[in-house]
Amino acid sequence: MSTLADNLAAVRTRIEQAAQAAGRDPGGVALLAVSKTWPAADVAALAELGQREFAENKVQELVAKAEELGHLDLRWHLVGQLQRNKATAVVGAGAVVQSVDRVSLVERLAGVAERAEVVTEVFVQVDLGGPEGEAAARGGVAPEHAVELADAVAGHPSLRLRGLMAVAPRGGPPRPAFDRLAVLATRVRADHPEAGELSAGMSADLEDAVAAGATVVRVGTALFGSRPLASGSGP
């Protein structure tokens, strides 16, 4: 518990300092704890420290933890890629879907949410590419189609468009990519003022994301430590 408490305090301090450096209100940047591969006990421990919003990469893990920790009244987000055949499960869990990247998924989510008589909140995920425009394979719609996809989401009463989400490209500086994302977010908000959220930044680059206008940062490693079941760097 002490390590999680220290980590949470350190991350919150980083967010506050980044916001202040950017001339922003720290209260305008929300922390999303990415708990993928970590046990529900760690999520519960962070919840006891005041963290209420958590994210998973896989639907199965999200649903399992949401059910086990249902008594804690947490808000869950899916940040990994979503297959159409798992839309019912994620909508049923009441999760925010941050990885909407194609029209067929929009239509599937809208249909499931409509039948369940709920409104599902979504972000459009944008592929920021890689160095010199190379594909980064990190998921998302191509930037030139992001506005069109946002329009598709907004056209369904059973969906609520919250904004854009993206992952910084591998092998390149994150700030220019986040700046491009911020410009795109401004274009989306021009047509959809309610879509004011920008989900960007992870453990290694949250300061760059906050400087570019992120309203949500997705942090895993800096909170929980190196993941026990995954290799490589994470959120």
Taking only the tens place, the pLDDT of each residue in 174-208 is: 999 999 999 999 999 999 999 999 999 999 999 99
Q: CA-to-CA distance for 194 and 37, rounded, in angstroms?
A: 33
Note whether residue 234 is domain-resident. no
Note the pLDDT of residue 172.
Answer: 83
- Tell me the average pLDDT of the chain: 93
Q: For the full predicted model, state whether its pTM sits above 0.85.
A: yes
Note whether residue 230 is domain-resident. no
Note whether residue 69 is domain-resident. yes
Note the pLDDT of residue 72.
Answer: 97
Each residue of 205-230: pLDDT tens digit? 999 999 999 999 999 999 999 865 44
Range of the domain at 23: 2-224
Q: What is the mean pLDDT of residues 151-159?
A: 98
Note the pLDDT of residue 35.
Answer: 96
Note whether residue 231 is domain-resident. no
Note whether residue 122 is domain-resident. yes
The domain total for the chain is 1
Note the pLDDT of residue 226.
Answer: 80
Note whether residue 232 is domain-resident. no
Q: Which long-range CB contacts under 8 A does 44-52 form with residues at least 24 apart?
A: 44/69, 44/72, 45/1, 45/4, 46/4, 46/8, 46/223, 47/72, 47/74, 48/1, 49/1, 49/4, 49/5, 49/8, 50/8, 51/8
Q: How many CA atoms lie within 13 A of 174 on its CB side?
A: 19
Structure-token pair, residue 203? 């453990």
Note the pLDDT of residue 138.
Answer: 65
Q: What is the mean pLDDT of residues 37-45?
A: 95
List the single range of 38-52, 70-84, 123-137 with lowest mean pLDDT.
Answer: 123-137
Going from the C-alpha of 97 to that of each of 20, 25, 26, 101, 159, the distances in angstroms are: 29, 26, 24, 10, 10
CATH of the domain at 133: 3.20.20.10
Note the pLDDT of residue 230.
Answer: 43
Note the pLDDT of residue 170.
Answer: 85
Note the pLDDT of residue 56.
Answer: 98
**CA neighbor of 195 nearest in space, from 122, 106, 91, 125:** 122
Note whether residue 229 is domain-resident. no
Flag whether pLDDT at 164 surpasses 80. yes
Note whether residue 130 is domain-resident. yes
